[in-house]
Structure 1
Amino acid sequence: MNELVVASLQFPTVVFTIALGIVLVYWLFVLIGALDIDLFDVDVDVSGAAKGIGDVLTGGAKGGAEAFHADAGHADAGHADADGDVDGGGLWHVLGLGDVPVTISVSLITVLAWVGSLLAMRYVGVSGWVTFAVFVAALVIALPIAALLIRPLAPVFAVREGKSNADYIGHVCTITTGRVDTGFGQATIEDGGTVLAIAVRCDRPGELARGDKALIIEFDRERSAYLVEPSAEMLGAERSTGSGGTEPA
C-alpha cells in the first residue's frame, strides 16, 4: 500500500493523481445531486483543454501537410485542406469522445492515464527525462482506449431534435370535435406510430365535423393552432390546377 502511495506521488504519475482526485470529488458531488453530469456542456473542439490536446497530437501532421503542398506549388489549397481536416473535425470528435458529456470523457482518460503512468513507473522503473515521455505516452495511449470504452455509451447521450410546428404543414389530420371554426377545434395526427392531439382552426365555420379529414396549411402563432382546410377540397383544387395546365389550346 505504501509503495502505491509513493508511486502515485512521483512524477509524472502525480499529475494524474491530482487530476484523479479532482475527478473523484466531482463525481461525489454528482452522486449527491450537487452538480450535473453535463456541467461542462460545451463543444470540446473549441474548449481550451481538448483543443490543446488536439493541437499537440495533430500539429505535426498539419505542418507536414502544409509543407508538402507548399513544395508542390499549392500552398493555398494545402492550407485550406489542412485546416479543414484538423480544425473542422477535431481529434476529440474523430475519436468519438465528443459523443458523451465531456466530464465522462475526461474522467475516463484521467483514470486510464493514471493507471498507465503508474504501471510504467512501477514496473519499468524509468527516470530522468524519460519520465516526460511516459507522461505524454500515458496520455496518448489513454485517448483511443477511452474512445473504445465510451463507444457503447454514445447512443445513451445522443441528442435527437424534436419536430417543429412547421414540420406538420402539408399533413392530413382527423377532426375529433363536433365543429371547427376560427376559435375552436381539435384534431389528431399520426407521427411515426404516435397519435398526437393538436389544436386546429378553420376560417370557414361549418366546413369540418368530427371524423373529417383536413389538410394542415399553416401554423397560426397568435392562436397557437394549425389552420386547416377540408382535405378533399384542397386536393381537388390541386388536381384541377394541374389538369388545367395540360388542356389543349
Structure 2
Amino acid sequence: FTFLLLVVVLYWVVAVLGLIEIDVLDFDIPEANGIDINAEQGLNSANVLAGLMLRFGLHGVPVTIILSFIALFGWVICYYVVHFLMGILPEGLFSLLASIPILLGSLYISVMITAALIKPLRPLFKKASQETVKRVLGQTAVVKTSRVDNSFGEATLEDGGAGLLLKVRTDGSASFSKGDRVVLLEYNKEENTYRVISEDDFAGS
C-alpha cells in the first residue's frame, strides 16, 4: 500500500501541473443491471472490472478518487495492523504468511470504507455533470494541459467560483497549447468530452 499511495500522490501532483488529465483512468460503468459478471460469454477484462466495481459499490464518482481513497485507507489500516500485530508474531516464515491475509483484509476493509464514503457523493457528481453541460456550451475556456488534440487535453472555464476543469478534444489534426483560448462547441456524452475550436475561428464562423 505504501507503493500504491506514492503512485497516487505522484499522479495528483502531475495532474495538478497539467501534464495528464485528472480523470485519465476513468471509464464508463453501465447501470447495475447492464453487466452480468457471472456470464460465461461476451465479457472482456474491462467488463469484469466494471462488474466488480458495481458489486462493491465503487461507481458514480471518478475512478481516480476511488483509487485514492482505497490507497489511503488501505495504507492506514495495514500500517496499524502490522505495527500492533507483527511485534507479537515470531519472525520468519510464519510472519511472512501472516502478511498475506493482512494485505487482503486491509484491501477489503478499505474498499468497503470507500464504497460507504462515495455513496452520498454520486447524486452530486451526476447533477453537477448535467448542469455543467447545459451552461458551458458556447463559452470560452483556457487550455490547462500541455496540449489539446483529438485524443488528449483539458481546459479550465471560469464560472465565478473555483472554475471548471473540462476534458476537451479537437477535430482532425488541429491542436492547441497551454494558455490558448478555445470555445466549447459540442458535448460527447460517451467520452465525457467537449469538442473545441479556437476563439478566433469561432468569431469568424
TM tier relative to shorter chain: 0.3 to 0.5
**TM-score (ref. length: structure 2):** 0.47
**Greater Rg over alpha carbons, structure:** 1
**TM-score (ref. length: structure 1):** 0.39
Structure with greater helix share of residues: 1
